[in-house]
Structure formats: structure tokens, C-alpha cells
Amino acid sequence: MKNFLRALKYAWPYRYRVLLSVLCALLAAILWGLNFTAIYPLLKILGGEENLQSWVNKTIKKVDKETIPPLQDKIKEIQDKKADLELQPDGAQVRIDIRKISGNLADWESKLESARNESYRYQVAKRFIDAFLPEGKFQTLALMMVFVIAAVAIKGIFEFFQETLVGNVVNRSLFDLRNVFFRRTVRLDVASFNATGSNELMSRCTMDMETLGSGMKTLLGKIIAEPLRALACIAVACWIHWQLTVMFLVLVPISFYVLTRIGRNMKRATRKVLERMSNILKILQETYLGIRIVKAFAREAHERRRFRAATKEYYQKAMWVVTLDALSGPIIEFFSVVIIAASLLMGAYIVLERPDRILGFINLTGTPLDMESLLQLYALLAAIADPVRKLSSVYTRIQAGWAASDRIFGFMDREPKILANGSGPRLERHHDAIEFQNVCFSYDPGHPILSGVNLRVKNGEVIALVGKNGCGKTTLLNLLPRFFDPDHGTILFDGVDIRTAHLRSLRKQIGVVTQDTILFDDTIYSNIAYGKPNATKEQVEEAAKQARAHDYILKLPRGYETRVGEAGTKLSGGQKQRLSLARAILSDPSVLILDEFTSQADAETEVEVHRIVREFMRGRTTFIITHRFNTLEIADRIVVLDQGRVVAEGAHADLLKTCPLYQRLHEAHAQRLVA
């Protein structure tokens, strides 16, 4: 519940809207309850020969002349008897008799007080009837129908505003929460994204948010409006006959117990449903992103079976949620009917038999009941059962929102292992050297990827990293922009430990071009300017010219305003690579990381890209990861890695003589070219 309450805090800025919705719900509930007060006079009009004016006058006269005087006489008689007993000598029997008479006197005084209250109520009704109702029975009936219809219409207006205000508050709260969720997830380090998976994050930001919103809307809407409706009816019912009303309210603890048991199961079931939806999103993402591989290997049938299994599992869990949600309503309705039937039978017994007590201890002397009042009371009890029945689904939906909030805040509460260091020293533009000092790193404890790496790279130097797959080349360079931090050792940037430096000032100096070119579903202009959003049009075009992309961009239908499609699907591999280079050129980094940057280029394009990179690398510290030995010609120094260690470094000719691993890599490359 703690996380659900945290989610509700996002509604606090809109508390005045919530208060206004509560006011609308209160007014609607009052009108709902008052509508039932029309039942009694309607029954009197339809069941008698006289109009309401005659009936109320006759009733007042009957109470004042026929009911109250005999009660007063009886009380006077009992008081006289009590006074006579008090004059007798003190004794045990006398005290017993006095107690009996005192109890009897209290009962008759209660009856007298009830009669006087009844007379007062009819006096109030008389003033209203004489002032507003016509004397004709049909005219009175028509006017009362007009009042009821007007009250229902006004109630509907209040309910409309209440629902609208609650929806506004919930949607605004979810708007704020989604943005906070996105802001906090983007702050997390790369390791957290790798551990969780993008499909899980998307599920929490979409499905879980919607489930939480449903719970919040239920809490701020129905859980306020429905109890108010019930309370309005309870107030009128207690005014008519509070003993029967209290008997009916036995339903409340029974309902609460049933809903609590169902709600606990609902929370667990909802959490499992949300987890299964995350699995469905994962399969969709993998299949759609890898659709070419799926089709190339004719694995459509396999993916259909995998998706069918995931959706079947989701269906089974979702049906359990539906079952729990559907179960609560009939159970509560059954208890409601049982209690209403019991109350009706008890009320009929009171009307027909006129007992002084029921169940041996409930005193009825002060609350007489006639048939019209009983029918009105029955209608009110049935009206109370309706919001109680609707509240049966409220608890289950809140439990579902509770489960969703646990998943959402469970991720939002994660703290990034790599902090921004806002108070750390801001790095000046790179001018000295980058040093890796005894750097060790592992993704999983006990499985080292890098072990004792020592490397010094001077400003403006071009370093090529070569080695077999999995030797740690990409991992080593991922440590430089602090996508990860080393387990041991230090990385110095111009003599400053990058773990203590201002993170943004570090990353602003590093440009990255990877083998998997990442483009966003936006215009070419926006993709080039991604790293420098305030760049001018001239700067963007100049970067595109340096990347040899300007000419082909102009040939596109909308030039720089052409959208590249999801992940750049509307462009060829070489075109995407040049856009990636243009993006890096525009950001003007002092350190450049090129990770298999020509992997998607043909021979002609590769030569062109090399020419572009050679021009752009001047005066910049550059790290190149490559398996193509013809790329090494642009490097000043080659570093050979094996099993996470630097085993050799030097020029191409020297390594061919001194490094067996480099010799084998070169021979394998030569054989591939010959083949």
C-alpha cells in the first residue's frame, strides 16, 4: 500500500480539483437520498382518498389529541405510584418495586417523546405542504414527479462534473508520474537497462501505468461517491427506523471480510498478469526488430507458437483476475438480498404485531412504524445495497493498482551506480593524455572481462584495438564515457579520475560511432543535430558535407526534412553510417570512438569513409575497434588484446614480427581476402 500512497501524492498538486469533486459527489449523494423521501407521500396519495393537506392535518390532530394525552395520563399515573412507594418504609421489596416502576416510567416517557417528535415532524411537513403543494391529488402527484425529475437531472450534472474532475486529476497525475518515471530511468546506468530489458520498462510505463490509473480513478471516484450515496440513504433510513437500519448494516463487516480475502488474491494475480504482458512485449519486440532473420530462416511458425504460448499464459492469468473481479459482485449482492429480506420480514412483523421489543433486547416503543414507512425503508435499504455492491469491485481494482504501483516504484527507486557528479570538477577540452591504470572489470562476479589493463594514449593519437571476439575491446572503451565503471583500477582524463569528474562534461567531449548505427524515427536534420540541438542549419549542412552525406540528402524527396523511419529503415547501411559520422562531426568531440564503423560499408564506401575519418581525426584522440586490417593504416599505434589483457602494442610491421596472436589474426584476414 505504501507505493500506492506514493502514487497518490502526484495528485496533491490538484487537490482543489479533488475537493471540488468530493463536493459534487456529496451534493449528488444528498439528492440521491432525498429522492427516496418522495416515496412516503406518493404512497399516501395513491393509497388514500384524501389529499396531503387533509392527511397531514388529520395526522397532527390524531397525534396531539389521541396519542399524546393518554401517554401523559399514563405517565402521571406511574409517577403517582412511584411517589407512594417512596413514602413507604425502606425495604428490599420496596426498592425492587421502585426500580420496576422507574423502568416502566422510562418506557412511557420514551413513547411520549417519540409522539412529540412525530408531531413536530408533521408540523414541519404541514408548512411545506401548505406552502408548495396544490390541493388536488393528481396535481400534487404531478408536481412531485417534476421535483423528482429535476432532482435527478441536477444529480446527473453533479455526477458528470465529479467524474470529469476525477478523470482530470488522474490523467494529470499519470502525466507527471510517467515523466518522472522516464526521467529516472534515463538517469540509470547502462547496466540497469541491460539487466531489466527495454520490453520490461515499456510494460511498466504503459500497462502498469494504466492499471495504476484505474486504481487511482476508482479510489478518487467510486470510493468517495458510492459511500456518500450509501450514507445519504442510511441517514434517511435511520430517521425512519434506526433499529432496522442498524440490523441491515451487519452487511458491512461481512462485505469487508469477503472483499479483503478476494483483494489479496487479486493483488497477486494482477502482478502475474503484468509480468506476462511484459513477456508478450518482449516477444513482439524481438520478432518485429528481427523480422528479416525470422523470414530468412523461415521461422514464422516457431515465432507464432512462441507468441501463442505467451498469450495463452497471459489469457489464463487474466481470466483468474476476471474471475476474482466477477466473484465479488454476486457474493455481496447475495448478502445484500439476505439482509434486506430479513429486514423486510422484521419490519412487517413490527407493522402487523406492534411489539414493544424484538430479539428480546431491542426497544421499539419509541419508533412506531406504518406500512408506508416500511415500504419507504425497504426502498432505502435496497438503495444502500446498490453502492455497496458497486464497492465490491472497487477493492479489487485498488489491489490491482497496488500491484502495479509496486512494479513501477520498484524500478523508480533504483539508484544509478554511476552518478552525474554535479559538484565534481568540470573537464576542460582534452589536451594531455588518457590513461588506463591497472583496469579490471567483469559483468558477473568471478568472470573477469578485463584484467590489469594499462594503457596511455596521448592527445591527438590514433589507437587501434585488435583481438579475437570477446577479448574486451568494446568493454574497455565503454569504460571511457562511463557506461560502466571498472571494478578495480583508474581511468585518468588529463590527470583527473573520471569517477570524480563532472559526468556531463566528460561525455560532451566523446563522440561515438558504432557498428550498429542508431537513428531515431525523425528527420535527417534532427538526427544529425541530436548531439547539438542548438546547431544552425549551416552547421548541420557543413557536418553532412564533411561526412559526404550532403549530396544524397538533397536527392531525397524532402531533403533534410525527410524522415528516416524506425531505426533508419528508409536508408541504406552506408547512408546511415554517413549520418552517424555527420552527427559525431557536428558535436565536435575531442575524443572519438569508432567501433567497427565500416562494418556495413562496401569496399568503395569504406575507402570514402576512411577519407572522411582521416580528415576528421586530426587533432583528436581516436580509438578504433576493427577486424579489418586495411583500417589499421590510419592508426598511429595498434594495441592487441587477448582474454582481457594487453599482450602487445606497436606499429603494424613490428607486431608482425613480435606478436604471435597478431600474426594469426593477420594471416586469417589475408586468407579471408583470398577466399
pLDDT tens per residue across span 133-179: 777 777 777 777 888 888 889 989 998 999 999 999 999 999 999 99
For residue 124, how many C-alpha atoms fall within 13 Å in the half-sphere facing its CB? Answer: 5
Among 185, 196, 202, 204, CA closest to 403: 204
> Over 60: is that where the pLDDT of 372 sits?
yes
> Over 60: is that where the pLDDT of 366 sits?
no
For the segment 289-319, what is each residue's pLDDT rounded down to a tens digit? 677 677 766 778 888 888 888 888 888 888 8
> Over 90: is that where the pLDDT of 558 sits?
no
Contact between 408 and 212 under an 8 Å Cβ cutoff? The reply is yes
For the segment 586-596, what is each residue's pLDDT rounded down to a tens digit? 888 999 998 87
Question: pLDDT band at residue 666, thresholds of 50, 70 and 90?
Answer: confident
What average pLDDT does this structure show over 53-75?
81
% of the chain residues with pLDDT over 70: 92
Quote the pTM value.
Answer: 0.71
Which pLDDT does position 365 carry in this prediction?
Answer: 46
Grid coordinates standing for 301? 511458425
Grid coordinates standing for 299? 521461422
Grid coordinates standing for 428? 576542460
What average pLDDT does this structure show over 509-537?
85
Question: pLDDT band at residue 46, thresholds of 50, 70 and 90?
Answer: low
Which pLDDT does position 252 carry in this prediction?
Answer: 66
Is 359 or 552 the better-scoring residue by pLDDT?
552
What is the C-alpha separation between 178 and 200, in angstroms, rounded? 15
User: Cα dist. 422→413, 425, 500, 505 in Å?
Assistant: 20, 8, 10, 10
Domain boundaries, given as residue ranges, for the chain: 2-51+136-412, 56-132, 460-472+504-674
2-51+136-412 maps to CATH 3.30.70.20: no
Which pLDDT does position 218 carry in this prediction?
Answer: 85
Grid coordinates standing for 504? 556531463
Among 663, 636, 661, 660, CA closest to 650: 636
Which pLDDT does position 364 carry in this prediction?
Answer: 54
CATH architecture of the domain covering 460-472+504-674: 3-Layer(aba) Sandwich (3.40)
Calculate ∠ Cα 60-63-65, nearest 5°. Answer: 100
What is the C-alpha separation between 136 and 158, in angstroms, rounded? 33
For the segment 428-442, what is each residue's pLDDT rounded down to a tens digit? 999 999 999 999 999
Query: What contacts 162, CB < 8 A, 6 or more positions away?
Result: 21, 24, 25, 28, 221, 225
What average pLDDT does this structure show over 52-56?
76
Max CA distance (Å), the chain: 135
Which pLDDT does position 125 carry in this prediction?
Answer: 79
Grid coordinates standing for 423? 559538484
Is 506 or 565 the better-scoring residue by pLDDT?
506
